[in-house]
Amino acid sequence: MRFAFTEEEDNFRDEVRKFLKSELPNNWDGVAGNNLEEGASDKEWDFALEMRKKLADKGWLTMAWPNEYGGQNASMMKQVIFAEEMTLARAPGRDGFGIRMLAPTLMIHGTEAQKTQYLPDIAKGNVQWCQGYSEPESGSDLASLQTRAVEDGDDFVINGTKVWTSSAHRADKMFILVRTNPEAPKHRGISFLLIDDMKSEGIKVNPIIDMAGRHNFNMVTFDNVRVPQKNLVGELNRGWYVGATLLDFERSGVEYSSRCMALLTELIEFAKTNKRGGKYISEDPNITKEITEIYTEINVSRGMSYKIADMQSNGEVPNKESSMSKLFGTVLEQKVADLGMQILGMYGQLGPESKHNKLKGKIEQEFLSSVSATIAAGTSEIQRGIIATRGLGLPKP
C-alpha cells in the first residue's frame, strides 16, 4: 500500500504539465462547460485537433496501446496521471472515439486489413470518429435498436436514425451498431459496421442544441446508405458483443474528480478574494461548509478512480466500480456547479457573452452543462441497476 506516486510517475506528471503550459495559450481556461472537452465553436475545434496532433506526436494518446500497435503498454497509473493533468488544465485534444473505443475493438475483432487501414490514422490523430449507438426509442435500452442494415450485393444498406451522436458534425467516420437480423432475440441480431465517410449519400447530420445553447449532439439519419461488407467488424449478428469490447485502457473516471477540483479551486480563490455585503464570501459559513464537503467528496471520487486503476493494474476487471465512480462523480459535478451558482449570487445568471459576468460566465455554462452529467453515457438509474445486479448479485427485476 502506498498513497504516493513513484518518482517516475511524478516526473511524467511534470512533463505533461510543462508541455501543457507551453502549448496552451496564456491564462488558458478551457472551453466552458464540463462535458465538451473539444469545445463547440469552430475555433475551439481546430485548436483541439491541433493539440491532438501534438499529443499524438508525444505518443501520449496511444500510450495505453500494446507495443505491437505502436503503443507503450503504459501503466494504468500513468494513464490516470495523463487524464488528470489534461482535465485539470482543461486541455482539449484527447480522442475518446477513435483511440479509446474503436481501436481496442479493432485490435481484438478487426481483420488484418481493417487494422492496417484504420489504426495508423487513429494513432496519428488524423481522423475523427463518431459513435452511432443510441436511437430515439433506444436510450437506456440500447439493445432494442432498430436501425436496419440489409445485405445487398457486396454492401450493407443502412436505414434508420441515431441520436445523441456527439461530434457527428465534426466526424470523418462513424462506427455504428445496426440490426441485421430482426427475427433474432434483441442482443443477437446486431452487427458492428464502419462507415468510411460521413459525407456519404443518404447520411444527414441534424444538430441537437443543448440547453446551454451549444452544439455537440446530433441526430443522424440514414437513408439507404451503402457500406461495403468488408467494413463489418467481427461476425455478422454478433455486433452487440463486439461493441461491448473494452481493453483495459484507462476508464477510471478520474475526469470527474479532476474537473470538479479544477472548478472548486477557482471557486475557493474567488470566495477568498471577493466580497459581498462587506465580507469576503469565504467568511460565510454556509459557503465554507459546502466547499469543505465537496472538497472531501472530490477526494473520495478520486479514490474511486484510483481503485479502478489499481484493479486494472492487477489484472482485475472492474464492473460495479466503474458504475460507482460515474454515479458518484457525476453528482459531484452538479454539486460543484450549484455551489458556484451560490457563490456568484445574482451574477450566476450571466453567461460568457455578458460583459458584467464573473469568472468569465463559466459557472452559468457549467451549471447548464452539469444537468446532463447524471444522464449522458448511462443514467444514474442504469448505473445503480448495474451495481445492484452485476455488482452485488441481486436478481434482475
Partner 1 sequence: MDLSLDETQQMLKNTAKDFFATECPETHVREMENDKDGYNKQLWEKIVNQGWLGVPFAEKYGGFGLTFLEFCILLEEAGRVLLPEPLFHAVLLGGMPINIFGNEKQKDELLPKIISGESIATLAFHEEDDSILPSSIQCQASMSTNGYTISGTKMFVPFANISDMIITIARTGDKDTDLSAFIIPSTAEGISISELSTISSDKQSVINLDNVQIPATNILGQKNKGWELVEQIFSFGAIGKSCEMLGASEKVLEGTVEYAKTRTQFGRPIGTFGEIQRHCSEMATIVEGTRFVIYEAAWKLAQNKNAKKEVSMAKSWTSDSHKKVCAISHQVHGGIGFTKEHWVQLYSRRAKAAEIAFGDGNYHREKLSKLLGF
Catalytic residues: 250
Under the criterion CB under 8 A, does residue 134 sit at the interface with partner 1? yes
Please provide residue 227's backbone torsions phi and psi, each rounded to the nearest 5 degrees: -135, 130
Nearer to a copy of itself, 67 or 286 (CB): 286
Nearer to a copy of itself, 153 or 395 (CB): 395
**Smallest separation, CB 307 to partner 1 (Å):** 6
Q: What is the CA radius of gyration of the chain?
A: 22
Under the criterion CB under 8 A, does residue 163 sit at the interface with partner 1? yes
Distance CA 353, CA 388 (A): 44
Stretch that binds a copy of itself, among 12-20, 268-276, 285-293, 377-385 (CB under 8 A): 285-293
Q: Which position among 22, 27, 67, 286 is part of the footprint of a copy of itself (CB under 8 A)?
A: 286
Nearer to partner 1, 149 or 327 (CB): 327
Count residues binding a copy of itself (CB under 8 A).
4
CA 97 to chain centroid: 8
Please provide residue 279's backbone torsions phi and psi, each rounded to the nearest 5 degrees: -125, 150
Under the criterion CB under 8 A, does residue 182 sit at the interface with partner 1? no
**Site for partner 1, residues 105 to 124, rule: CB under 8 A:** none
CA 161 to chain centroid: 22
Under the criterion CB under 8 A, does residue 309 sit at the interface with partner 1? yes
What is the per-residue binding string for partner 1 in 356-385, x denoting contact by CB under 8 A? x-------x--xx--xx-xxx--xxx-xxx
342 binds, among partner 1, a copy of itself, none (CB under 5 to 8 A by kind): partner 1
Under the criterion CB under 8 A, does residue 67 sit at the interface with a copy of itself? no
Please, what's the b/e burial string for 367-390 (b: 16 or more CB within 10 A of its CB; e: otherwise)? Answer: bbbbbbbbebebbbebbebbbbee
Distance CA 75, CA 61 (A): 13
Per the CB < 8 A criterion, the answer to whether 156 and 147 are in contact is no
What cell numbers appear for 286 in the block? 454556509
**Site for a copy of itself, residues 300 to 339, rule: CB under 8 A:** none
Q: Which position among 285, 315, 393, 395 is part of the footprint of a copy of itself (CB under 8 A)?
A: 285
**Smallest separation, CB 285 to a copy of itself (Å):** 4
**Site for partner 1, residues 232 to 271, rule: CB under 8 A:** 268
Angle at 263 between CA 261 and CA 267, to 5 degrees: 110
Nearer to a copy of itself, 172 or 283 (CB): 283
**Smallest separation, CB 292 to a copy of itself (Å):** 11
Handedness of CA 225, 230, 233, 236 (dihedral sign): positive
Beta bridge partners, 276, equal: 279
What single string gives the DSSP state of each residue in 79-112? Answer: HHHHHHHHHHTT-----IIIIIIIHHHHHHH--H
Nearer to partner 1, 6 or 229 (CB): 6
347 binds, among a copy of itself, partner 1, none (CB under 5 to 8 A by kind): partner 1
Q: How far is CA 353 from CA 92, 156, 357, 364, in A?
A: 21, 46, 8, 11
Residues in touch with a copy of itself (CB under 8 A): 285-286, 289, 397
